[in-house]
């Protein structure tokens, strides 16, 4: 391995984080894009970063999605960073509710909380966290964290949540309706539509993901 390759900063990016692969490459990072099971960015074997715009942060507090995500992140990575991006509150939550949510992130989940102005500043923060982890602390980037032991139900839910457009609530509904992961994966589009709240778009995306032929990416710098 040449010296440049040895000192490269590697970052795993959830492919739903539009534009960030380019921003991070522009900073000098080698980027692996995929649908990550947890987090938006993986900086090392121990650090994961969850990014939320101001509006998404407040929505995720209102529907409790944030706390479910934090629970899963802490089960997978010992150090979790939450980045709230944007300069102003969306106004969906009162100041008291916002401060309560921030306090929960810090005190209940032990996560770090950062605020950035825009996507460029978020990318810079992620890059320098990864650089510190990999070059200073010698912690390699690894997508699968050291996951703690989970119950069968937690593992089943985690598997279903990896399907496209599926969050914790819909995963619960799918497993409750079909009774098992096998049942969810073998359900037809028509059967999936019987699950309350799923809808045609999600049902089609699930079947396309399960039934579609795997097309291996042309190259992957992390397989060297």
Neighbours of 137 (CB within 10 A): 12
Structural domain count, the chain: 2
CATH number for the domain spanning 39: value is 3.40.50.10130
Q: Which of 85, 108, 136 is the last residue of a domain?
A: 136
Domain end position, chosen among 136, 161, 182: 136
Question: Is the pTM here over 0.75, yes or no?
Answer: no
pLDDT at 79: 92
Identify whether residues 22 and 48 lie together within a single domain: yes
The encoded tokens of residue 58 equal: 């407040």
Same domain, 129 and 172: no
Plot region of 63 (φ>0 → left; ψ -120 to 50 → alpha; else → beta): alpha
Please indicate, yes or no, whether residues 14 and 124 belong to a single structural domain of this protein: yes
- What pLDDT does 220 receive? 41
| Structure confidence at residue 169 (pLDDT) | 79
CA-to-CA distance for 107 and 16, rounded, in angstroms?
29
Assign residue 204 the CATH number of its domain: 1.10.150.20
Residue 5's pLDDT is 56
Instruction: Give me the pLDDT at residue 159, please.
Output: 84
Within a domain: 171: yes
Q: What is the per-residue pLDDT across 91-140, written as a single tens digit (0 to 9) for each?
A: 888 889 999 999 999 998 899 999 999 999 999 999 999 999 999 988 88
List helix spans (H) across the chain.
3-6, 20-26, 54-62, 65-76, 95-103, 119-131, 152-161, 168-178, 181-185, 189-192, 199-211
Show the domain range for 73.
8-136
pLDDT in tens, the chain (224 residues): 444 456 789 999 998 998 999 999 999 999 999 888 889 999 998 999 999 999 999 999 998 889 989 988 988 888 999 999 998 887 888 889 999 999 999 998 899 999 999 999 999 999 999 999 999 988 887 775 545 555 788 778 878 877 877 877 788 899 999 999 999 999 999 999 999 888 899 899 899 989 988 776 544 443 43
Residues 34 and 144: beta-carbon distance below 8 Å: no
Domain contains 142: no
């Amino acid at each position: 391995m040449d010296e440049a390759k040895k000192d490269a900063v590697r970052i795993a990016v959830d492919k739903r984080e539009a534009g960030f692969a380019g921003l991070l490459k522009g900073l000098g990072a080698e980027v692996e894009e995929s649908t990550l099971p947890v987090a938006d960015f993986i900086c090392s074997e121990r650090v994961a970063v969850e990014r939320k715009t101001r509006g998404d942060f407040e929505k995720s507090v209102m529907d409790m999605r944030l706390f479910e995500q934090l629970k899963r992140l802490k089960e997978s990575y010992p150090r979790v960073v939450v980045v709230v991006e944007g300069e102003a509150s969306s106004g969906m939550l009162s100041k008291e509710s916002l401060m309560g949510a921030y306090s929960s992130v810090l005190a209940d989940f032990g996560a770090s909380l950062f605020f950035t102005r825009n996507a460029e500043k978020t990318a810079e923060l992620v890059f320098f966290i990864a650089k510190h982890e990999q070059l200073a602390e010698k912690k390699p980037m690894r997508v699968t964290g050291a996951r703690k032991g989970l119950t069968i139900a937690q593992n089943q839910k985690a598997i279903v949540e990896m399907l496209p457009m599926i969050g914790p609530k819909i995963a619960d509904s799918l497993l409750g309706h079909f009774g098992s992961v096998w049942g969810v994966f073998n359900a037809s589009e028509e059967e999936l539509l019987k699950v309350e709240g799923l809808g045609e778009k999600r049902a089609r995306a699930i079947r396309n993901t399960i039934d579609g032929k795997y097309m291996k990416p042309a190259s992957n710098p992390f397989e060297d």
